[in-house]
Amino acid sequence: MNHWLTKVAVLSLVASALSCTSKSSNPLSPVVAGPIEGVGITAPSVMQPGVDAMIDTTSQPIVLKVGNAATNGVRPLSVRFEVATDPGFTNQVFARVVPQDGSGQTSVQLPNALAPERKYFWHARAEDGANAGPFGATSAFSIFTPVVFGPPILLAPINNVLTTSQQPRFVIGNAPRTGPAGFVAYYLEISNSKAQVVAGYQFPETPGQTELVAPTSLPAGQYFWIARAYDPGFAGPFSVVQSFVTPPSPGSGGGGGGGVGNPSGRWEDCGSTPGYAVVLCVYQAINPAKTEAGIFEMTKRVAWLLRGSGFGLLRKDGGDNITTWNGISFAVARIVLPDGHLYKLLSDVPNGNPQWVDEGIEPHLASLWIAPMQP
């Protein structure tokens, strides 16, 4: 009996010895426990997010990226990422170990979005299952909610109104927004009738609505303008486009001669004026009587000059404000495009200059379009 027990003890010692030999001769074996003597592992380097990066909530979940660590050992490395709300990493919100990538950089994407309006700390280290290198430098980033602007509302000048000055006063209804906005300002851009940008201005927001008097004069003509809000980090969308017409310079000519872009004073020469300023040019050239017949004299000349753009007269067989010419009844102060897009010419206004008003598209008017006839 004792002889049998002796044999069992001997076999146990042999097995134990063989097991120890296996651990030391095969460092890649998963049964290796504890550090392997002489193996060194460097710290990974921070790549993304950068130190003190500001990350908005729309960019989540975020990706952490490091430059790979190096080792003199033979075991493959993995990278341990940790994220916490404190620099001591006692309150961790994320921890994960991933294989080190062979590209030279290793990254991991957080599974969920982090709570905004706070700062987070993160670091990483490399390990091979038996040895662990030091954590790299601790980095930090902040998550914030971005401001989102809506388009502002352009209040004046709009609808192709004739301004009282060549330095118009622009009035903007402030843009709606969500999120914590910083210092808010507006960018206003002005283009001419050829879609060329002629001016751009930046100015701070004021409560309720924001105003700007154009710092420089705009030569007589038609213009288009847009605006948008922005803060130091974000810009909102542009507003819808609005239009206006600036008057001629004082002393440049009134009724009966001269006027906007027309030194000759002949209405026939008004076709070279910029955009719809042709309306003002014709008005100044013929100085029409403030009667239906007088206003129609302006209307038919404007239609004739704008015929190349498709404008025509509007037939009107009943109702108010009609006049007969060449056997056809026409609307006194309206011209129209073939698709029914209607424009109204107003001449009886306080400053004595006509206004050119876009009244939109009324499809049923397409059948009432009449090609302009030479006055």
Asked if 214 and 170 count as a contact pair (C-beta separation under 8 A), the reply is: yes
Q: What is the pLDDT of residue 9?
A: 44
52 pLDDT exceeds 60? yes
How much is the pLDDT for 249? 61
Tell me, yes or no, whether 366 and 271 share the same domain. yes
| The predicted structure's pLDDT at residue 360 | 87
pLDDT of residue 347: 63
Q: Identify whether 155 is part of a domain.
A: yes
Q: What is the pLDDT of residue 16?
A: 46
pLDDT tens, position by position, 59-111: 999 999 999 999 998 899 999 999 999 999 999 999 999 999 999 999 999 99
Distances in Å between the Cα of 79 and the Cα atoms of 37, 53, 70, 97 are: 20, 22, 11, 5
Instruction: Please identify, among 96, 116, 144, the residue that sits at the C-terminal boundary of a domain.
Output: 144
For 279, residues 6+ apart whose C-beta sits below 8 A from its C-beta are 245, 298, 302, 345, 354, 356
Domain span at 129: 45-144
Kindly report the backbone phi and psi dihedral angles of residue 60, in degrees, each rounded to the nearest multiple of 5, phi listed first.
-100, 160
Rounded to 5 degrees, what are φ and ψ at 351?
Answer: -85, 5
In 209-318, which residue ranges form alpha helices assigned H by DSSP?
278-286, 292-305
Residues 155 and 112 in one domain: no
Per-residue pLDDT of 204-222, as tens digits, reads 999 999 999 999 999 888 8
CA distance from start to end of the chain: 137
With beta carbons less than 8 A apart as the criterion, state whether 220 and 248 touch: yes
Kindly report the CATH number assigned to the domain that includes residue 135.
Answer: 2.60.40.380
Residue 301 or 5, more confident: 301
Per-residue pLDDT band at 123 (split at 50, 70, 90): very high
Query: In this structure, are residues 168 and 80 in contact, taking their beta carbons and an 8 Å threshold?
Result: no
Q: Do 277 and 240 fall within a single domain? A: no
Please report the pLDDT score of residue 146 as a whole number. Answer: 83
Residue 224: is its pLDDT beyond 70? yes
The closest alpha carbon to 104, from 56, 155, 59, 70, belongs to: 70
pLDDT above 90 for 232? no
Task: Summarize pLDDT for 321-373 with one digit per residue, the tens.
Answer: 899 998 899 999 899 988 899 888 876 554 555 667 778 889 999 999 999 98
Q: What is the mean pLDDT of residues 233-260?
A: 69
pLDDT (tens digit per residue) in 9-49? 444 444 444 444 444 455 666 555 567 788 899 999 999 99
Which of 115, 144, 173 marks a domain boundary? Answer: 144
CA distance 346 to 354: 5
Q: 25-29, 178-182, 190-194: which has the highest mean pLDDT?
A: 190-194
Same domain, 123 and 178: no
Looking at residue 250, what is its pLDDT? 53
Global pTM reads 0.45
Together in a domain, 188 and 225:
yes
Q: Using an 8 Å Cβ cutoff, are 134 and 43 in contact?
A: yes
The larger pLDDT score, comparing residue 6 to residue 225, is at 225
- Cβ-contact 78, 97 below 8 angstroms: yes
Q: Is the pLDDT of residue 122 over 60?
A: yes
Answer whether residue 252 shows pLDDT above 50. Answer: no
Domain-embedded: residue 361: yes
153 and 231 in a single domain? The answer is yes
Q: Among residues 105, 123, 144, which one ends one of the domains?
A: 144
At residue 259, the pLDDT reads 47
**Together in a domain, 133 and 57:** yes
Interval 291-326: pLDDT, tens: 888 889 989 998 888 888 788 999 998 888 899 998
Is the bond preceding residue 176 a cis peptide, omega within 30 degrees? Answer: no
Amino acid 23: pLDDT: 45
Do residue 160 and residue 131 come from a single domain? Answer: no
CA distance 276 to 189: 19
> Whole-angstrom Cα distance, residue 126 to residue 41?
7
Helix (H) or strand (E) holding 148: strand 148-149
Asked whether the bond before 247 is cis by omega within 30 degrees of 0, the reply is no
Question: pLDDT tens digits, residue range 126-169?
Answer: 999 889 999 999 999 999 888 889 999 999 999 888 788 889 99
